[in-house]
Structure formats: structure tokens, C-alpha cells
């Protein structure tokens, strides 16, 4: 069992040697400082990329981290339009904005979000494979694990703050007093009427309810549902086999989420999913969806040795974040959510399993602790695909099963045939522990590259 204090110390040690490149390393043991949740400073915020940042849009003139996040320092220049006399005269006053970025429901802080003063209209967001919007070359900050960052602004008056992570993008006008401070709380958009959002496809399944998790996260209005074997459906839902029938069909989406079907994936075409990921697509797959990866071309990589079957773990299962940057970032973010027991994540009603022995290409995020029936069994891991930012995340547990969607008993695997989405989804004030892990993963590993999370 790893204590929170030990995790924090390990996190700081791991990040002391991290580089400042905004490109995701292909070495799972050498991910850089821009990874995960933007490495913590003494004040709890992310460290600033250095002057040697080789990412295409990484900030170049950020100061040292502030209390909750990075402090941006755009160069205003003397006598900038709209500045007050004291600011024009170069006095020591420094207007600033304390920014907090939350998930679309406004309940959970999101780390590693770029925040900056908008200069002109933001670029339109286009769903599907393709580049993410860029961040400014200077003056951007990044949120810490509490979702906060402080921006120094060049002049007082009304400015527009933009928050950007992957293709999630939103703005807010803020009035900054002369030589004073202002505050702004931005919720990432759940639909395109409130800002930019990625295009997400979900394949439902009879053994889990990822679609309902997204509904509880407030982003299902921008999700396209496909019905997998035995899974729920909505009006007009097409079968999942149409989703992966071609690479072009998959490429209409930034991320493809594959809910467990309770058996090896029906009608899978692994070559198409591999080509999609290699072209920059992002994939999240659960439990029996290992079938994609236990076949060429995935099986020719050093990802994992797969053990077919259910392989559910016996007894009470608790999980520890790993010592990788992904694991340590999750370990920093989870404690404030109040879901840990003795510093560990209880896997109650999540149906954890042991279907993989990791290879050299995989990066471990979460595993069983040393007291479990299968010690250190990998429960959540990921790997890169190609050179275009493609990423695959595999979860050997069920994200939504603890919620009791469609009238099921929490912890069971049988979704009633042709259940109706979203009316059959449970609503809850808070996400379950497994859903919190998924939320963190969605923004950390399943976003494309604008210098933020999908390095």
C-alpha cells in the first residue's frame, strides 16, 4: 500500500528530471513534464515549460508556478491601449486573474488546462482526426491539480480568458480592476453551444455502461452512440460494426470508447482500429475489448501478453496508482475527491480482472496492491500508436457498473436487452470512484495535442 505522502514524494522526485518538451515520449518510462497533470511545484501548481520547450505551441515566457498554477506574463509594453495611468507609468502594480477550470458539471477541477488571455477570435473546433487549436506562443498558464492558475494581465479593463485542453475550449469575459485582482471560474463545455468539444463515439455493451457515465459527466449531447453486442441504444442508433467498418468512419471521431460486451468483441476489425490510432485517434477499451489487441497488428507490438476469458479477481480488491507520470498524476488528483480508503482506491462493484501481463510499450497507471489475490495486476494502462499522437487506454475493470444503470444491481454485468439511453441511466450527485478515474483519464490521455495533454 502506498501512502499519499509517499506518492507525493515519489511524484516530486520523478518530475525533478522531467524534460520540458511538449511531445509525448515514446518511452513509457520517460514521459515529460507536460504529461499527466502538469508537474507540481511547491505551491501545488504545475511547473512551467522552460525556454527550451520544443513543443509547437508551448509557452515561452511563463514565470515560476504560483500558488495554484502557472503565472502567465504577457508583454504588455508601455502605454498599452486601455491601461491606466499607474500601469502606463510602469509602476509596480500587476493586475491578475485567479482562474479555476472545472468539468462540464462544475463539480470537479481539471488539471493541465491551458489558460490565457484571448487575442482575437478562437479558431473553430472541428471534430474528428485533425489538429487541435493552438495556444499562444507566450503568456499561457496551466492549471494545477486543484484546477487553478493565476494569470498576470498586461492592463486592467475587460479581457477574455480562454481555457483549452485538447479540443475542449471555452471563454469568459473578466473585468480586471486597476492594479487589482479578479477571479474567473470556467466550466469546460459539455456541448458545442458553449464552446469547443471533441467528437466522441461510444460503442455500448451488455456488460457496462460507459454511455451513462458520459451522461453523468454532462457531455453526452456531443457523443455519437453505436450499439455493441447486447448494449443500450437510443433513437437512430447504428450497430457498432458500422463504426469500425472503415478507417474513414472511425476518423470522424477524436476518441472512440469501447464498453465491455461481456464477451470478446463481436465483429471486431483490429486492422481498422490500429490504422485509426496510428493516424492520431484515441481509444478507450474495457475488459473483453482486449480482443482488439490480441490480434494483428496490435499483437505484433510489445504491449501485453493477453489472457483470454473473464478472469475476474477474487475477494476485496484495492488499487494503487503506479510510479509512472500517469499514475503519480492520478495519485495527486484523487485524494481531494474523497474516494480513497487508507490511501488506496477500493474497486468495489467495478469487476476488476486480470487479462494482461504488460510488455515494454505499455505505461501502467493503476494496479492491484500487494495484498490482492493477484498482486500488482495491471488494471489501467496505455500506450502510444504511431507518430501522430495516437493513444490507446485499456481498463481491466468496468467504469459504469457500480452505478446500477438500466435497473441493474451495482456490480453486475447484465444490461437488459435494448435498454433505452439516456432514460435508463442513473443520476447521482457525485461520480463513483471508477468514474472519477475515467474522468481524469478522459482529459489526460484522450485529448489531442495543442501543447497540453496528448503530448
Same domain for 434 and 389, yes or no, is yes
Q: Grid coordinates representing 339?
A: 474516494
Q: State pTM to two decimals.
A: 0.81
- As a whole number of angstroms, the distance between CA 85 and CA 82 comes to 10
Tens of pLDDT along the chain (455 residues) come to 434 334 444 444 443 333 222 333 333 333 333 333 332 222 333 333 333 333 333 333 333 333 344 333 333 332 233 333 344 445 568 899 999 999 999 999 999 999 999 887 777 788 899 888 888 878 889 999 999 999 999 888 999 999 999 999 999 999 999 989 999 999 999 998 899 999 999 999 999 999 999 999 999 878 999 999 999 999 889 999 999 999 999 999 999 999 999 999 999 999 999 999 999 999 999 999 999 999 988 988 999 999 999 999 998 999 999 999 999 999 999 999 999 998 899 999 999 999 999 999 999 999 999 999 899 999 999 999 998 889 999 999 999 999 999 999 998 878 998 899 999 999 877 899 999 999 999 998 877 765 433 32
Residue 11 lies inside a defined structural domain of this protein: no
The reply to whether 360 and 404 lie within a common domain is yes
Cell numbers describing residue 430? 457525485
Q: Contact, 205 vs 231, CB < 8 A? A: yes
Last residue of a domain, one of 197, 216, 243: 197
Among 216, 173, 289, 239, residue whose Cα is nearest residue 418:
239
Q: Judging by beta carbons within 10 Å of its beta carbon (0-12, 13-18, 19+), is residue 198 exposed, middle or buried?
A: buried
Q: Is position 208 within any domain? A: yes
Last residue of a domain, one of 179, 197, 215: 197
Same domain, residue pair 121 and 211: no
* 120, part of any domain: yes
Range of the domain at 391: 200-445
Total domains in the chain come to 2
Residue 57 included in any domain: yes
What CATH number does residue 150 fall under? 2.60.40.10
User: Which residues, 6+ apart, have CB-to-CB distance to 76 below 8 Å?
Assistant: 83, 87, 154, 155
Instruction: Say if 130 falls within a structural domain.
Output: yes
Residue 277 lies in a domain: yes
Ramachandran bin of 90, using left for φ above 0, alpha for ψ from -120 to 50, beta for the remaining angles = left
Amino acid at each position: 500500500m502506498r501512502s499519499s505522502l509517499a506518492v507525493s514524494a515519489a511524484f516530486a522526485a520523478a518530475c525533478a528530471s522531467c524534460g520540458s518538451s511538449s511531445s509525448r515520449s515514446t518511452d513509457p518510462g520517460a514521459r515529460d513534464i507536460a504529461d499527466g497533470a502538469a508537474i507540481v511545484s511547491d505551491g501545488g501548481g504545475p511547473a512551467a515549460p522552460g525556454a527550451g520547450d520544443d513543443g509547437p505551441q508551448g509557452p515561452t515566457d511563463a514565470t515560476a508556478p504560483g500558488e495554484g498554477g502557472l503565472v502567465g506574463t504577457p508583454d504588455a509594453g508601455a502605454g498599452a491601449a486601455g491601461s491606466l495611468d499607474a500601469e502606463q507609468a510602469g509602476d509596480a502594480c500587476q493586475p491578475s486573474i485567479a482562474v479555476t477550470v472545472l468539468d462540464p458539471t462544475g463539480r470537479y477541477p481539471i488539471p493541465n488546462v491551458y489558460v490565457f488571455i484571448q487575442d482575437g477570435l478562437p479558431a473553430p473546433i472541428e471534430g474528428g482526426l485533425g489538429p487541435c487549436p493552438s495556444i499562444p506562443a507566450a503568456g499561457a498558464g496551466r492549471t494545477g491539480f486543484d484546477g487553478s492558475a493565476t494569470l498576470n494581465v498586461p492592463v486592467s479593463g475587460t479581457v477574455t480568458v480562454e481555457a483549452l485542453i485538447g479540443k475542449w475550449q471555452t471563454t469568459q469575459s473578466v473585468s480586471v480592476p486597476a492594479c487589482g485582482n479578479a477571479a474567473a471560474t470556467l466550466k469546460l463545455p459539455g456541448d458545442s453551444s458553449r464552446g469547443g468539444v471533441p467528437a466522441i463515439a461510444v460503442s455500448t455493451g451488455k456488460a457496462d455502461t460507459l454511455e451513462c457515465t458520459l451522461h453523468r459527466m454532462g457531455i453526452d449531447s456531443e457523443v455519437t452512440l453505436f450499439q455493441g453486442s447486447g448494449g443500450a441504444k437510443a433513437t437512430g442508433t447504428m450497430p457498432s460494426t458500422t463504426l469500425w467498418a472503415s478507417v474513414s468512419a472511425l476518423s470522424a471521431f477524436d476518441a472512440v470508447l469501447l464498453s465491455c460486451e461481456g464477451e470478446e468483441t463481436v465483429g471486431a476489425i483490429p486492422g481498422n482500429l490500429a490504422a485509426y490510432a496510428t493516424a492520431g485517434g484515441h481509444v478507450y477499451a474495457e475488459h473483453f475489448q482486449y480482443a482488439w489487441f490480441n490480434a494483428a497488428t496490435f499483437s505484433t507490438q510489445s504491449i501485453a501478453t493477453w489472457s483470454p476469458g473473464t478472469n475476474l479477481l477474487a475477494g476485496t480488491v484495492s488499487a494503487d496508482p503506479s510510479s509512472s507520470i500517469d499514475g503519480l498524476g492520478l495519485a495527486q488528483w484523487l485524494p481531494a475527491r474523497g474516494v480513497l480508503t487508507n490511501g488506496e482506491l477500493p474497486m468495489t462493484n467495478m469487476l476488476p480482472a486480470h487479462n494482461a501481463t504488460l510488455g515494454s510499450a505499455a505505461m501502467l497507471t493503476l494496479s492491484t496492491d500487494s495484498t490482492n489475490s493477484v498482486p500488482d495486476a495491471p488494471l489501467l494502462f496505455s500506450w502510444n500508436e504511431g507518430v501522430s499522437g495516437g493513444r490507446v487506454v485499456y481498463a481491466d475493470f468496468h467504469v459504469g457498473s457500480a452505478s446500477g444503470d438500466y435497473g441493474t444491481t451495482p456490480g453486475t454485468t447484465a444490461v437488459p436487452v435494448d435498454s433505452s439511453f439516456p432514460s435508463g441511466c442513473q443520476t447521482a450527485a457525485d461520480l463513483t470512484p471508477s468514474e472519477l478515474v475515467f474522468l481524469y483519464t478522459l482529459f489526460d490521455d484522450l485529448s489531442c495535442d495543442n501543447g497540453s495533454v496528448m503530448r
